[in-house]
Amino acid sequence: MASKRQYDIVLLGATGYTGKWTAEHITSSLPTNIKWAVAGRNQSKLQALVDGLKSVNADRPSPAIITISNLTAAELTPLARSTRVIINTVGPYYKYSTPIVEAAAENGTHYIDATGEIPWVREIILKYEQTAKKTGAILIPESGLESAPSDLIAYIATRLVRKVWDCGVMDIVASVHELKTSGASGGTLATGLGLVDHYPSKVIKETLKNSFCISPMTLKPYTKENIYPPNAEPTTYERTGLQKFTGVWSYPRLGHLTTSLTAKPNEAVVQRSAGLNPYFYGFNFTYEEYMAVSSPIIGVLVHLAVSILMLLLAFPPTRAILKLFASYKPGEGPSKESSKNDVVELRAIAVAEQLSTPPRKAFATFRFEGGMYELTGKLLAEGAMVLLTKEASIKSKHGNGGFLTPSSLGDDYLDRLDKVGVKIDVKQIGDVGSK
């Protein structure tokens, strides 16, 4: 990758809700010698953002402003050639961001975003993977609240198993142990509803049904023959038919578990990580994610609510009605004051592949106290810094370029996140029972 570029980082979509959080973190926490720019389509909004950033850190020089009229590959090519890393917060990603990925891949520019749109991620991997490998561009989608916490907790649990017992992992069961949030931004809600309008139902069903849909082990264009390839089944526990029907079961140390609305994109990203590095994760690796609840009754109600929501999303008229209930418009979201007490905590149990009695296991946690979009801003900005400073190390482990995952940024990423209040821990535990 060319090192003599005008900028180290260009933040694209900087005036959006997530973009503003990211800009503030760059301003407050990244080294002041970083050369960066903010980019978007509205000059006056960009200038207002830059003026406001002066109150965040008066010692940092103001970023440059890049105005883009249209998000086309032709117009984005000069931008991609001017910077080492693009942080992209322009959503809905399926609607606006394919040309951004194309420009980055073709010009050897590293790229990171916060999408949770697995159908789109699958699409861009199929289109631009080979191009990125030729140019040396490292592209890491799904690096915000979805799906970096899940990917990092699976990585750190596997790292301990590999270090202590020198083997891979058979299964990881993860749960959203605590989630206190002041709400989703208007852009997040618009994306979720619009995604179902944009993609054929069979593509949506595939991403909900198959957590290996972007794994390099199985990734190929959809045909009648390869639609819905079978998932690997966990080998260290099994849920009964009643548990599957009600959506509720229990796992030692994780408690009562039920269906999580956000699990499938997270599972897909973790399975891609495992497919990119099977010698590290293990060739029989599986990952499943759930929502922790206080009782089985609450679990049944949550599972029922998620099932009804998914049914409503299947029909255009009900999707249109749901859009009317959005609390925020695109570009807007919860205030800093309302989100300061937000919390997210994930927990995970990893079972070592090496057979033993009692089973050898690792217990990992991911916790952040603060706004969920503040967390996304930290994840994006700190990920960009790792791409800037550890490019050679990443390529030595994962090849010249292509589509990687948040965990591909490795221990340097964990260290940087720890310094900005993201706590990720792991420990060896004794037998926690079997299922």
For 67, how many CA atoms within 13 A lie in the half-sphere containing its CB?
7
> pTM surpassing 0.95?
no
Q: How many domains does the chain have?
A: 2
Radius of gyration (C-alpha) of the chain in whole angstroms = 21
Q: Are residues 203 and 119 in the same domain?
A: no
Residue 434 is predicted with a pLDDT of: 40
Q: For 344-355, how does the pLDDT look when each residue is reduced to its tens digit (9 = 90+)?
A: 999 999 999 977
Residue 224 confidence (pLDDT) above 60: no
- Looking at the chain, the whole-number percentage of residues with pLDDT higher than 70 is 92
Residue 265 confidence (pLDDT) above 90: yes
Average pLDDT, the chain: 90
Written as six digits, the tokens of 345 are 């905590």
Which among 405, 352, 347 is positioned nearest to 173, based on CA atoms? 347
Q: Are residues 170 and 62 in the same domain?
A: no
Q: Are residues 78 and 154 in the same domain?
A: no
Residue 325 is predicted with a pLDDT of: 67
Q: Are residues 154 and 193 in the same domain?
A: yes
- How much is the average pLDDT of 70-74? 88
* CA–CA separation, 198 and 296 (whole Å): 36
Q: Are residues 361 and 388 in the same domain?
A: no
Written as six digits, the tokens of 153 are 């907790």
The verdict on residue 336 lying in a domain is yes
Separation of CA 352 from chain center: 25
Q: For 370-414, how does the pLDDT look when each residue is reduced to its tens digit (9 = 90+)?
A: 999 999 999 999 999 999 999 999 999 999 999 999 999 999 999
Q: Are residues 378 and 352 in the same domain?
A: no
The verdict on residue 266 lying in a domain is yes
Q: For 314-346, how does the pLDDT look when each residue is reduced to its tens digit (9 = 90+)?
A: 777 776 776 666 666 777 788 888 888 999 999
- Looking at the chain, the whole-number percentage of residues with pLDDT higher than 90 is 69
The verdict on residue 435 lying in a domain is no
Q: Are residues 391 and 326 in the same domain?
A: no
Q: Are residues 139 and 196 in the same domain?
A: no
Number of residues that make up the chain: 435
The verdict on residue 86 lying in a domain is yes
Range of the domain at 267: 147-369+423-429
The verdict on residue 165 lying in a domain is yes
Order the strands of the 343-352 sheet from edge to edge.
249-251, 255-258, 286-293, 169-180, 343-352, 361-369, 423-429
Q: Are residues 263 and 336 in the same domain?
A: yes
Q: Are residues 133 and 160 in the same domain?
A: no
Q: For 26-70, how does the pLDDT look when each residue is reduced to its tens digit (9 = 90+)?
A: 999 999 999 999 999 999 999 999 999 999 988 889 999 999 988
Q: Are residues 125 and 160 in the same domain?
A: no
Q: What letters, b where the CB count within 10 A reaches 16 and e where it falls short, cover 362-390?
A: bbbbbbbbbbbbbbbbbbbbbbbbbbbeb
The verdict on residue 77 lying in a domain is yes
Q: Are residues 254 and 274 in the same domain?
A: yes
Residue 170 confidence (pLDDT) above 90: yes
The verdict on residue 2 lying in a domain is no
